[in-house]
Amino acid sequence: MHSGEESYERFLKGDRTGMQELVEMYRDGLILFCGSFVGNIFDAEDITEDVFVELVVKKPRFNRKSSFKTWLYGIARHKALNAVKKLSRAEILRRNEYSETPDNQESLENQVIRDERKAAVHRALQEINYEYRQVLHLSFFEEFSNDEIASIMKKSKRQIENLLYRSKLSLKIKLEKEGFNYEEL
């Protein structure tokens, strides 16, 4: 099987099968990755399609500073973050249409603050070590016990406890760099 870089180079030289190979190799993974940002498969599919459209239309140059897959996922991450911003704005506009009282306005402001905090946590999660991200996801989002996490990650319970401690500390440092108080989240 060809690498993504080879397929993309062939596409840039006019071989359309190169793009077909890229779609086959990376589509499913990109959908899952983008879904972790937007929270639904339909938007994730749209974002993934936008990634491939960008490759076809703009034909950005692969700079070889990382692997092709990393470069491609960087494009997807950028598009997913933009989509999250657009979706957040659309949700705010929809809520604004229905707000009738000052109480609703205050509620809207609180929702915006919560959305900003969620986005900050998500950005910070993307910047920490993969194992840290994995253990936090399994613990807080999937609500697995430490024993279950240890089984999934093939580590001892003590290693999981240490990983959770270090991952929370790492997340706290990233969030504080963005100006958020960790305890308020």
Render pLDDT for 36-74 as a digit per residue (tens, 0 to 9).
778 788 999 999 999 999 999 999 999 888 889 888 988
Q: What is the pLDDT of residue 26?
A: 93
Single residue among 64, 98, 132 that ends a domain in this structure: 98
Gap between the Cα atoms of 28 and 119, Å rounded: 24
Gap between the Cα atoms of 99 and 41, Å rounded: 29
- Provide the CATH number for the domain around residue 34: 1.10.1740.10
Helix/strand/coil for 141: helix
Q: Are residues 20 and 88 in the same domain?
A: yes
CA of 61: how far to CAs of 7, 14, 20, 55, 76, in Å?
13, 15, 18, 9, 15
Single residue among 98, 117, 133 that ends a domain in this structure: 98
Q: What is the pLDDT of residue 1?
A: 46
Q: Are residues 74 and 30 in the same domain?
A: yes
Gap between the Cα atoms of 36 and 73, Å rounded: 13
Model confidence, pTM: 0.52
Helix%, strand%, coil% for the chain, nearest 5: 80, 0, 20
Q: What is the pLDDT of residue 174?
A: 82
Q: Which domain holds residue 73?
A: 1-98
- Closest to 85 measured CA to CA, from 51, 47, 54, 52: 47
Q: Are residues 171 and 86 in the same domain?
A: no
Give Cα 71 distance to the centre of its chain: 14
Q: Are residues 1 and 85 in the same domain?
A: yes
The predicted-structure confidence for 120-137, as pLDDT tens digits, reads as follows 777 777 788 868 877 887
Q: Are residues 54 and 116 in the same domain?
A: no
Single residue among 37, 63, 98 that ends a domain in this structure: 98
How many Cβ atoms are within 10 Å of 100's Cβ, its own excluded?
A: 8
Q: Are residues 87 and 150 in the same domain?
A: no
